Structure 1
Amino acid sequence: MLYVMVQFRVKEGHVQEAEKLIRGFIDNIRNNEPGTLAYQSFQFNHDIQEFVHLMCFTGEDADEKHKDSPYIKQFVDTLYPLCESEPRFHHLGLVAEK
């Protein structure tokens, strides 16, 4: 399993646009990526401009399929200009789970 977290902050006035974009992006993942076991998008309750995405892939191949998809390029090209700075990617190591 491969776990990834992405954190980003959208510019003021672009939250609804980002939310709509994220929903469409996750629909594409749901319909096209069986190797992506989970892809969740969260907003901070105390700061709705701040987002965190959590991903779980079956392995490197599934992560590569995700990265190489045509809809990720469109998502990145549309989302990044809405962000205050580049999204921050973190690869996570699982310590424990239920």
Structure 2
Amino acid sequence: MFGLVVRFTLKDAESAAGFDGLVAETLPRIRENEPGTLVYAVHQVDGKPLERVFYELYRDRAAFDAHEEQPYVKRFLEARGAYLDTFEVDFLALQDGKGVSG
């Protein structure tokens, strides 16, 4: 399996609303079209209204690469910059867990 965590810090409340709208457009398409995307969870951070955390888990690196090539994902990646102050990505290698099998 292949995973990542992304922490986004948004510019301001207006940017947060725009970013959340972009996520709302993108996530249903991921659900419908990507069998290799096992988990795509978007979180608001309690007490930090301008932060969002994504947790993504893919069947393998090829499934992640296929995800990145989807037109709706490319649109998200291109549009998100208008809303962001910063972002940080950590790539993960699953060791063990409940609800997933390696």
TM-score when normalising by structure 1? 0.91
Matches within 5 A, 1:6-45: 6-12=6-12, 13-45=14-46
Rounded Cα–Cα distance in structure 1 between residues aligned with 2:20 and 2:29: 14
Aligned pairs (5 A) from 1:32-71: 32-71=33-72
What amino acid does structure 2 have at the position aligned with 1:11? K
Matched residues, number: 97
1:38-59: CA deviation from partner (whole Å, max 9, x where unpaired): 1010011111110110001000
* Identical counterparts, % of pairs: 27
Superposed CA RMSD in Å reads 1.2
- Report runs of 4+ in structure 1 exceeding 6 Å deviation: none
